[in-house]
Amino acid sequence: MAKDSEEPKSEQAGEVGLPNAHTTAPDSPSEIDPSIRSLKDLIDRATGRDFAGVEYESDAGIAEVWPFPFLALVGQPEMKLGLLISLINPAVGGVLLVGPRGTGKTTAVRSLIDLLPAVWHSHCRYGCLHDDIENGGVDAVCPNCAEKYARGEPLAALEPARLVELPLNARLEDVVGGIDERAAVHNRMRLRRGILAFADRNLLYVDEVNLLSDEVVDAILDAAAQGRYTVRRGPLAATYHSRFTLIGTMNPEEGNLRPQILDRFGLRLLVRGLADSNQRMEAYKRTQAHLSNPRQVTSLYADETILARDEIQAARDLLPQVSLPKTVAKNGLELIKSFDIASLRAEITMFEAARAHAAAAGRKRVNMDDLRTVAPMALRLRRSPFMTKYFVDQEGEEEEIIHALDKLSEKSPPKTKKKPAKTKKKKSSG
């Protein structure tokens, strides 16, 4: 790698416009190439570049306020790609990160904050949007919003998507909502929206999803699948929108997910610890630097982060035009068939992820490389090791039963040895 001792010029820190803006300064390798059209290249380059040191400060700020930059994450290319794909195309149906503790799953998810695309955020507690009226008429929104719409007032504003975290100890009441205690104090009965409604149009992050109670997991997955949910408390009922991208993590050492829950996550990303010592050292360096001076680490990646966010938005905008050619679709379906995967979510996730992957590279047609890249994330853990083992166990048990029966018949008068040679045992009628 050719190193350049040149210090970054101050003019470089100016505004970074759209990726296809001008600025040509090929003589400075530290300059960001604004003509990049591949999100992957951008991420790889930013992530892999030499990490400049930071000034260590004893109390530079709270790390949570400055999340670890996504582009500073070392290694884990599949995890990063999968997360970006879910930002580009929510139709992949969520992401599950599977791996042991301390492999950076939570850090990676939180680092997405700076990359989140802009989405319409409703002004209303029920999450009403213009789209709802376009798709389902004025009855699809609450009476308040229907009136607003009639007056020509906006129902929503375009804002960056948010990362909503489900607390580990969340109760069903917190998740779906319930009686508003504050209103109850004033003798008014009102429902308060839950975390699922807050997550509408945003990302919902559920850490350790395998440790949640079944009722909470079911509520989340139902809401995610339907895009809305209804709460009933006594005489009160309300329906809230819940169109969120679900990102979950689980550590298989701490218990498994029920197969029907596992099936409802689109992409499955295996997150292993970094195997390469150099990478581990680099990760350590960056983590320590971020702990000491989070603001400065963030600023080191600020320009590229803005570029990446613009690329994600551009890919999202391109997505509706990205088509899946018949030959690629056919190969994909053959692949699923050969793996004996039952769930229809397999192809939905795989094809939608492939479309997002093509869009991230600025292409309007999915090709076999897209499919090759996303197929493992979309299809792994879908063959249901549980069911396979279950059937094998059952077969084993069946053999045992037959074997035991054979033994018994050996002890008792040996009427038949192994196969009764065509003895007509059928009850002949008449």
Task: Supply the residues annotated as catalytic.
Answer: 345
Quick one: three-class SS letters along 321-369? HCECCHHHHHHHHHHHHHCCCCCCHHHHHHHHHHHHHHHHCCCCECCHH
Residues 357, 85 contacting (CB under 8 angstroms):
yes
Shortest spacing between CB 123 and Zn ion, in angstroms = 8
Specify the stretch interacting with Zn ion by CB under 5 A; choose among 112-120, 142-150, 179-187, 237-245. 142-150
Specify the stretch interacting with Zn ion by CB under 5 A; choose among 138-146, 306-314, 338-346, 422-430. 138-146
Specify the stretch interacting with Zn ion by CB under 5 A; choose among 37-45, 139-147, 214-222, 322-330. 139-147
Shortest spacing between CB 141 and Zn ion, in angstroms = 5
126 binds Zn ion (CB under 5 A): yes
Shortest spacing between CB 117 and Zn ion, in angstroms = 23
Q: Which is nearer to Zn ion, 126 or 244 (CB)?
A: 126
124 binds Zn ion (CB under 5 A): yes
Residues 6+ apart with CB under 8 A from 6: 28, 30
Q: How many residues does the chain have?
A: 430
Q: Which is nearer to Zn ion, 129 or 353 (CB)?
A: 129
Q: Which is nearer to Zn ion, 153 or 400 (CB)?
A: 153
Q: Choose which of 46, 74, 81, 142 interacts with Zn ion (CB under 5 A).
A: 142
Specify the stretch interacting with Zn ion by CB under 5 A; choose among 34-42, 145-153, 185-193, 317-325. 145-153
Shortest spacing between CB 166 and Zn ion, in angstroms = 24
Q: Which is nearer to Zn ion, 205 or 244 (CB)?
A: 244
Query: Tokens 């400075």 — which residue?
Result: 28
Cα distances (Å, whole numbers) of residue 99 to 265, 282, 325: 15, 20, 34
Shortest spacing between CB 200 and Zn ion, in angstroms = 11
Structure token pair of residue 59: 């109390």
Query: Tokens 């010592």 — which residue?
Result: 277
Q: How many CB atoms lie within 10 A of CB 190?
A: 15
Q: Which is nearer to Zn ion, 145 or 247 (CB)?
A: 145
Encoded one letter per residue, x for contact with Zn ion by CB under 5 A and - for no contact, window 67-106 reads: ----------------------------------------
| Number of residues binding to Zn ion, judged by CB under 5 A | 5
Shortest spacing between CB 72 and Zn ion, in angstroms = 40
How many angstroms from the chain centroid is the CA of residue 272?
A: 17
Q: Which is nearer to Zn ion, 142 or 269 (CB)?
A: 142
Specify the stretch interacting with Zn ion by CB under 5 A; choose among 122-130, 341-349, 398-406, 415-423. 122-130
CA angle 69, 70, 72 (to 5 degrees): 65
145 binds Zn ion (CB under 5 A): yes
DSSP string of 230-291, one letter each residue: EEEETTEEEEEE---EEEEEE-GGG-PPPHHHHTT-SEEEE-PPP--HHHHHHHHHHHHHHH
Query: What is the chain's Cα-based Rg?
Result: 27
Cα torsion at 115, 117, 121, 126 (round to 10°)?
Answer: -80
Q: How far apart are CA 250 and CA 245, in angstroms?
A: 17
Q: Choose which of 85, 112, 128, 209 interacts with Zn ion (CB under 5 A).
A: 128
129 binds Zn ion (CB under 5 A): no
Q: Name the site residues for Zn ion (rule: CB under 5 A).
A: 124, 126, 128, 142, 145
